[in-house]
Structure 1
Amino acid sequence: MRVDFYSFAKVVVNGVLTPFYRIQTIGLEQFPNEGPVLLCANHISNLDSPVVGITAPRPVRFMAKEELFRTPLVKTLVHHLRAFPVKRGMNDRQALRMGLEVLKQGEVLGIFPEGTRSKDGRLQKPLPGVGFFALRTDAAVVPCAIIGPYRPLRPLKVVYGAPVDMTPLRERKASPEEAADYIMDHIRQLLEQHR
């Protein structure tokens, strides 16, 4: 039922957002067709999750801020969209376990490494959680750059980059912080190339 609802919601949201923001999707051919994927995007708007959700070629399970799960109606909607809660600003072990399970099942885990929206559009320091997932699993790490502005009838780009090679960092047991910075560097490169 959830997958059906996700597909239905994707069609509806795509029909609204794509023409309204003239969304352009770049790099889909680089997105892995199967296997676990850690999808990492910059965060500039509350609409980032639905925009990534409608442009990604596979269903995405997002880590969503816990506050969204406090209102019954919103909680039900977000649940059917297959998101799960994470407590921001702290080490949420339950969310980490859930994220690992999503990847173990070969699904796509969507995460915004910055943890919160950037008010000025500039990349912020990433949280180590994204590095934790990248190092603890063999998931393909796909960087994604959302390039605004979110203004009616102004082009909005969603750029998917080639999977980031995490092998050297995994082999030398790099820290989650270093891995997170490495991933953010790839998002930064996409932003600079496509602005």
Structure 2
Amino acid sequence: MGGLDLNRLVQGRATRPEVALGNFEAVYDYYVDHQQNRLVARAAYAALSARYRPRIRYAAGAREQLRDLLASGTRLIVSANHLSDSDQYTLAATAWQTPLRRAIGRTRVLAKDELFAEPGLRRKVDMMGSIPVFRSKNHGLRAVAEAGRRMMDISAERLRRGDVLAIFPEGTCNDGDPTRVQLINSGIGHIAVKARKLGAPPALLSIGISYRPDGVRSASVFVGAPIVELPSTPMDIARTVADDLQLVVDGAVARR
């Protein structure tokens, strides 16, 4: 992750379970309580900001609305489009430069389980507050169903505890037209509904990312206006996410 030597800063825990589908219960029992070192996280996010240098713009009034929501303790789901394996770093750099900085160290990021396989990389994604996701494209829809439900329960519980949750709801990198948002499934909606049932109704913050042809640094990033009142059903929430995400992607592309 950039030039940081996080292997020296972040120590692994012997109690960390192997991130494997057959072990998902132990995995999520661990990540429901996992807490990274906030000072290390802030140092890493600052370094990523300096390295990736996103060019950030906001929808009208969005910066002030976001600041107020975070100050009031409103739970927040951050939704971003997915273009490359560098998106998590661009999003971290964006967090450092926006009011989301105050949530560094208590932000959970849903990340594919492959990122937890290699010990050094796992220490880095753990530092970022990641929660593993077992994807149906890798394991099969039926195989991941129960693990997926547990992941959504854990995500909702972390929201209830006051964490920010960051999601790439397209679920896979966009290898087609980077200006058009891919299909959004209902998972993000189920998490929002579960959090609401736990007494922590979340607001939605959409962030659009657009890269230049020459690489992932200095990405154009557009932060949308938060949506505080979300629909009642998971599918309606997913449609709201899709529409809002397309708006911010349009904003990022227009300013690339």
* Structure-1-length-normalised TM-score: 0.86
> Taking structure 1 as reference, are residues 114 and 152 closer, same or farther at Cα in structure 2, changes over 3 Å only?
closer
More helix by share: 2
Q: Distance in 1 between matches of 2:235 and 2:185?
A: 7
Partner letter of residue 4 of structure 1? L
Match of 2:182 among 118, 124, 127: 124
Q: Distance in 1 between matches of 2:88 and 2:46?
A: 15
Q: Distance in 2 between matches of 1:151 and 1:30?
A: 33
Choose between structure 1 and 2 for higher RCO, CA contacts under 8 A separated by at least 6 residues.
Answer: 1
Unpaired runs of 5+ residues, structure 1, are none
Partner letter of residue 241 of structure 2? I
Report SS of the residue matched to 1:8.
Answer: helix
Partner letter of residue 188 of structure 2? V
Matched pairs, number:
186
Q: Distance in 1 between matches of 2:81 and 2:215?
A: 20
Q: Distance in 2 between matches of 1:155 and 1:16?
A: 9
Q: Distance in 2 between matches of 1:10 and 1:94?
A: 28
Partner of 1:81: 128
Partner letter of residue 3 of structure 1? R
Partner of 2:28: none
Q: Distance in 2 between matches of 1:61 and 1:69?
A: 15
Q: Verify: 1:33 aligned to 2:70, yes or no.
A: yes
**Matched-pair contact (CA < 8 Å) for 1:40–1:143:** yes
Partner of 2:9: none
Q: CA deviation at 1:110?
A: 0.2
Q: CA deviation at 1:42?
A: 0.8
Q: Distance in 1 between matches of 2:87 and 2:46?
A: 16
Partner letter of residue 158 of structure 1? V
| Structure number with larger C-alpha Rg | 2
Partner of 1:164: 227
Partner of 2:157: 101
Partner of 1:5: 40
Work out the percentage of aligned pairs sharing the same amino acid.
26
Q: Verify: 1:177 aligned to 2:224, yes or no.
A: no
Partner letter of residue 48 of structure 2? V
Partner of 2:50: 15
Unpaired runs of 5+ residues, structure 2, are 1-35, 137-143
Q: Distance in 2 between matches of 1:132 and 1:153?
A: 31
Partner letter of residue 250 of structure 2? E
> Taking structure 1 as reference, are residues 115 and 152 closer, same or farther at Cα in structure 2, changes over 3 Å only?
closer
Alignment of 1:141-160 (within 5 A): 141-149=204-212, 151-152=214-215, 155-160=218-223
> Taking structure 1 as reference, are residues 99 and 153 closer, same or farther at Cα in structure 2, changes over 3 Å only?
closer
Q: CA RMSD in A?
A: 2.0
Partner of 1:55: 94
Greater CA deviation, 45-54 or 150-159? 150-159
CA displacement, residues 152-195 of structure 1 (integer Å, 9 cap, x when unaligned):
4975211111112434x22xxx2x22311211101112222442
Q: Distance in 2 between matches of 1:112 and 1:24?
A: 20
Q: Distance in 1 between matches of 2:153 and 2:216?
A: 40
Q: CA deviation at 1:113?
A: 0.8
Greater CA deviation, 62-71 or 85-94? 85-94
Greater CA deviation, 67-76 or 54-63? 54-63
Q: Distance in 2 between matches of 1:101 and 1:123?
A: 28
**Matched-pair contact (CA < 8 Å) for 1:144–1:161:** yes
Partner of 2:20: none
